[in-house]
Amino acid sequence: MTIEHASELEGLRRAGSLVAAILAGMRAAAVPGVRTRELDALGADWLRAAGARSAPQLTYDFPGATCISVGRIFAHGIPDDTVLREGDLVNIDVSAELDGYFADTGASFVVGAASPPQQRLLAATLEARDAAIAQLRAGERINGIGRTIESVAARRGLRVIRNLGSHGVGRALHEAPGQIPGHYDPRDGRRLHEGMVITVEPFLASHATLAEEADDGWSLYCRRGFAAQFEHTVVVTSGEPVVVT
């Protein structure tokens, strides 16, 4: 999507504010003893009350209103009877359609107290997201996102999951300019333009460089170690980018 009118930005902001609020509410409710299915039910109720629809359900018939991933599963986890425990690494991804606009956000966190390795992974992934957003400018090459993410990962002694990345969003959950790698691809000559709506979502890992698909056909996991993700929906401008989530 390309934002051309103030009304479009306002619509996108409403969708972004909603998914951000739902993510925050689900994260606050993610305490030891809660089942991921119960967390998802909260998110589904809040979406319904706002007149919004779950984007993964709408787009892909995903078996949950939100994606909730635990442990080595770090993306596209199906909400089920998994009980959260102290020390679990969790990722919640909330994306929704509201009045024709799609917004997407996500965050990884630890239930209770994080271990030092978990803290390092989370801090680095958050740093990578925020640094990648800060350098966005209309006219710059899209591969600057992957260059920035990869630079932060290398500096922090971590790896980038290479078969996942950011993407276009706005009028659909996934749209032009398509997938945006989280690593630097010098062959990618695409450029950012004024009003372009994208997600920025690095996936950093302690050991893995590829996401593996589980037998359920949805969940993505690391064969070794753990991975984390943080995500915002962002509008590119000639100046500071506009974060809507």
pLDDT in tens, 162-198: 999 999 999 999 999 999 999 999 999 999 999 999 9
The Cα–Cα gap between 171 and 126 comes to 26
pLDDT tens-place string over residues 75-106: 999 999 999 999 999 999 999 999 999 999 99
The per-residue pLDDT for 71 is: 97
Predicted local confidence at residue 238, as pLDDT: 96
Q: CA 96: distance to chain centroid?
A: 12
Tell me whether residue 188 is annotated as binding: no
User: Residue 93: what pLDDT?
Assistant: 98
H or E element, residue 7? helix 6-29
Name residue 47's beta-bridge partners. none
201 annotated ligand binder: yes
Q: CA dihedral in degrees (14, 15, 18, 24; nearest 10)?
A: -120
Tell me how far apart the alpha carbons of residues 74 and 91 are, in angstroms, rounded to a whole number: 6
Pairwise CA distance, residues 190 & 63, whole Å: 34
pLDDT computed for residue 228 by the predictor: 98
C-alpha R_g of the chain: 17
**Summary mean pLDDT of the chain:** 97
First-to-last CA distance in the chain?
16
Q: Which of 236, 232, 233 is nearest to 193 (CA)?
A: 236
167 annotated as belonging to a binding site for a ligand: yes
pLDDT of residue 124: 98
CA dihedral 54, 195, 134, 91 (to 10 degrees): 10
- Spell out, as residue ranges, where the chain has pLDDT lower than 70: none
The predicted pLDDT at position 55 comes to: 98
Given this model, what pLDDT does residue 60 score? 97
232 among annotated binding-site residues: no
The response to whether 193 counts as a known ligand-binding position is no
Q: Residue 201 has what pLDDT? A: 98
Q: Tell me: is residue 216 an annotated ligand-binding position.
A: no
Q: In what order do the strands lie in the sheet with 220-221?
A: 73-75, 220-221, 212-213
Contact 182, 165 (CB under 8 A): yes
Residue 207, pLDDT score:
96
Q: Is 207 annotated as a binding residue?
A: no
Look at residue 31 in the predicted model and tell me its pLDDT.
98
Q: What is the pTM of this model?
A: 0.96
What angle do the packed helices 116-134 and 143-155 form, to 10 degrees? 150
Find out whether 157 and 209 touch, Cβ atoms under 8 Å.
no
